[in-house]
Amino acid sequence: MTKIADLRGKTPDQLQEELLNLKKEQFNLRFQKATGQLEKTHRVNEVRKDIARIKSLLTTQKSA
């Protein structure tokens, strides 16, 4: 799980890159779940929440 303080220190470009990586990971986790190979089920929720954190930060940085 990514801490919000760590994310605030990053530039918008770095946040976009992190968001892309998390979306790829989310896809892979969904694929593993569908095939019955998912071992760390809690990671699905962690990735989803990290994506939401980054999107929120990007939104607030754009408006500021």
Q: How confident is the model at residue 4 (pLDDT cuts 50, 70, 90)?
A: confident
Intra-chain end-to-end CA distance of the chain, in Å: 26
Burial class (CB within 10 angstroms; exposed 0-12, middle 13-18, buried 19+) of 40: exposed
User: Which residues make Cβ contacts (< 8 Å) with residue 18, sequence separation at least 6?
Assistant: 2, 7, 10, 54
| Predicted pLDDT at 61 | 87
| Predicted pLDDT at 62 | 83
| Predicted pLDDT at 15 | 96
User: Which residues make Cβ contacts (< 8 Å) with residue 30, sequence separation at least 6?
Assistant: 44
| Predicted pLDDT at 21 | 97
- The model's pLDDT over 21-51, given as tens digits with 9 standing for 90+, comes to 999 999 999 999 999 999 999 999 999 999 9
pTM of the model: 0.90
